[in-house]
Structures are given as structure tokens and as C-alpha cells.
Amino acid sequence: MAMETVRLPQSALEQALAARPKHIFISGASRGIGEAVARHMGEENHNLSLAARSYNRLLGLCMDLGTQRAVPYRMDLADDLSIDEAITSAESRFGPIDVLVCNAAINIDTPLDGATKQVRSDFRQVIETNLIGTFNLAQLVTSHMPSGGKVVFIGSVLARFGAPKTSAYTASKHAIMGLTRAMALELGPRGIRVNCLNPGWVDTQMAKESLTRIAAAQGVTLQEATQNMLKILPIRRMIKPSEVAAYVKFLIGPAGDAITGQGIDLSCGSVMI
């Protein structure tokens, strides 16, 4: 005899909280994963603060989503003042931020055989943006974040292993996992959950730029470099930005309430732990 699922009635307070629009702040929202998350969240009744260096692209995205509840902010993680101004403006518009999605990052090759001023400058720029800027953003937002808030960092499978010529980027993504765990412990007593999603190769402009550099170094075409990369994956395809966005939606919803301090790999099998 089949058993029926028993649904316990929600209290009026729980229903009201579930229906209340959340204030969601997304960095790096102008393209790729950040844009996909914004569009995914835009399907629901949330207030969206969208930040990136590319203000014109953000403005077009907000027009698509509706400018009454999607507002663009020019922000560069390497510029502390732009972070402060974006958060102050966002909170003035929609109130304290309930959900922070830290997606913005840069990737510049930092080969060990290039002990030049340029490589050292590039290394410093990646760390200042991906780690220090991300920390500054998360620290500022969570200082005002209410109980029940969620922080989701967009990391990388390179938080699990390394890759040649990516010392700065790999180090920054390993560091984001450490930041996730430390923040989860510190913010847990306030009812705030902190997690990190570690995607593998996602079909974005940043991935295409990385594959183009790999192709040039190997003396092959972009198509050949892409196929060589896919051959080592158990699931031989790239991840869709919408798939990452769907997992962000899961983590920031009620189903993610018991999850914190975790690094969750979306890697088509490149990471198995």
C-alpha cells in the first residue's frame, strides 16, 4: 500500500517569512554565472542589487528584470571605496542584505618562469580582487545581515587541485574555502549560513578566455584545446551557468538551512571526494 506524504501546516509567521521578498546582492552580475544567478532570482519576487565593473551591461540586465526591483551598481573589488558606496546605496534602497552571492573574480596567468614585475603585479592584482576584495565585501555586508541570512561564494574546482601557470588564481580559490569555513563558524551563532560552490569548466566568457590561452600555449586550436579538456571529465561537457544558478537558489532557500561551511563541487566529475 502506497504511503502518502504528510505535510505539516506552516504557521502564519513561517508563511509570511517565506513570502517576504529578500534583498539579494550579487557581485560580478554583468555576465556569466553572476548574470545567470540574477536572472534565476529575477523569476521570483526578490529585490536585486547587481554589481560589477561593467555598468552598461548591468543596466541592460536590470531593464530586462525590471528596474523597480533590480538596481545596478558599479563596483570593483580592487577599490574599497566602490564597495562601500555600492553597499551603502543598496541598503539605502532595499534595506539590509539577506543574501550575498560573491561571484566577481579575475583570472590572469601567473607562470613561475616569468619572474618579472608584470607577473608580480598580476599576482597581486588577482589576490587583491579575488580574496581581499571579496573579504571586504563579505565583512561589510554581513555586519548588517539579519538572522537567516545566506552567503554563497562562487569558488572553483581549483580550490581542490592546482593547474600550471595559475598560482594566483588557484591560491585565491583555496583561500576562499578557508574564508568560507571561518565565516561559517563566526556567523553561525547569528543564524547566518556561509557556503562555497566550486564549479569546474563553466560555459562562460572567462572559460573561453582561459581555453584560448591554453590553446595558444599548446599550439592547437581553441576547439582542440576544448576537446582535450572535455576528454578528462567523466561527464564530457561544460557546465551551464544556469546549473550553477539553480544550486545557488537551492542553498539560499529553505532547503539550504542546515548547510554551512561547505565547499560543494559542480565539476562534471573532475572532483570526487
Domain boundaries, the chain: 21-200+240-266
Round to whole Å and give the CA distance between 174 and 162: 9
Distance of CA 131 to the CA centre of its chain: 13
pLDDT at 203: 82
pLDDT tens digits along 210-265? 888 888 888 989 888 888 888 888 888 889 999 999 999 999 999 999 999 999 99
pLDDT at 15: 54
CATH topology of domain 21-200+240-266: Rossmann fold (3.40.50)
pLDDT tens digits along 130-153? 999 999 999 999 999 999 999 999
Q: Is the pLDDT of residue 156 over 80?
A: yes
Q: Are 167 and 123 in contact (CB under 8 A)?
A: yes
Task: Indicate the pLDDT class of residue 273, thresholds 50, 70 and 90.
Answer: confident
Q: Is the pLDDT of residue 2 over 60?
A: no
Per 3-state DSSP, what percentage of the chain is helix, strand, and coil (rounded to 5)? 50, 15, 35
